[in-house]
Structure 1
């Protein structure tokens, strides 16, 4: 994930979701966990598929705090960005993509999709059989959809 996109997510979450606002930790005015720490913890756990206690040394967060970060992060992303990014395309969306595809020499093409099996290095032992193919190594399917107008 590039830095501007990450910072956009952090900014939106810290402005719109109470949990992500940095608060005063004690009566002396010492600040608590920052929005950056909370978002980084959630994204690291999601990206690497690790347990909540794996970010304790890197980000100085405990397991229960990391779990709360993850839960609030997922809910916040769904609430803030779900209507725009986690929805089925409308007829207008599809027509716009078809028109652009035709203009670029690809009539009838809505977008480009590619799937690949990506080795899951940190797959939990209990799940290895469920996510392994012929190679015996656990993989997840990485699916990418590309459109000219995706925000980068």
Structure 2
């Protein structure tokens, strides 16, 4: 009897969590602003965004402690770095490249941070622009590539139904 109750409770919990993340993702994608027919280039100084992020959370003496990283990112720093490393090794979108004039593009940290913040807080795609220095369409690409990459790389191990041993 208790096993049946546990099984039902776990199934209901799994369904609620799946629904929450799907709703959050869909809300972010559906609530984006309409694309302009002609884009205007905005110099966002992406290098400054990376440097600020690096100095705030990832350098030897960061501005914010690991406790604040956990609170703001809603994930442990070591787990976040593991995800960033795996994505940048295996998903071309997360590999930093140089553009035509030789400037480095957005860093894997910027791209993963944008996606994770949109998922964690359910914020709009353009809400990460001021801190991370990337635009709405790029943020949405980050979110899409992040979710696909995490499912591809970590799905078999972590995105499965829990076993009795896990529980």
- TM tier relative to shorter chain: 0.5 to 0.7
What RMSD in Å do the two structures reach over aligned CA positions?
A: 1.2
TM-score (norm 1): 0.58
Match of 1:48 in 2: 121
Larger RCO (CA under 8 A, 6+ residues apart):
2
Match of 1:17 in 2: 91
| Shift, 1:3, TM fit | 1.1
SS across alignment from 1:32 = coil
Separation of aligned partners in 2, 1:3 and 1:78 = 20
Match of 2:148 in 1: 75
Separation of aligned partners in 1, 2:103 and 2:122 = 32
| Shift, 1:2, TM fit | 1.4
Match of 2:161 in 1: 88
| Shift, 1:23, TM fit | 0.6
Moved over 3 A (4+): none
Q: Deviations over 1:96-119 (max 9, x none)?
A: x2xxxxxxxxxxxx62xxxxxxxx
Q: What 5-or-longer segments of structure 1 have no aligned partner?
A: 98-109, 112-152
TM-score (norm 2): 0.53
**Bigger strand share:** 1
SS across alignment from 2:81 = helix
Separation of aligned partners in 1, 2:100 and 2:127 = 26
Q: What 5-or-longer segments of structure 2 have no aligned partner?
A: 1-74
**Bigger helix share:** 2
| Shift, 1:85, TM fit | 0.8
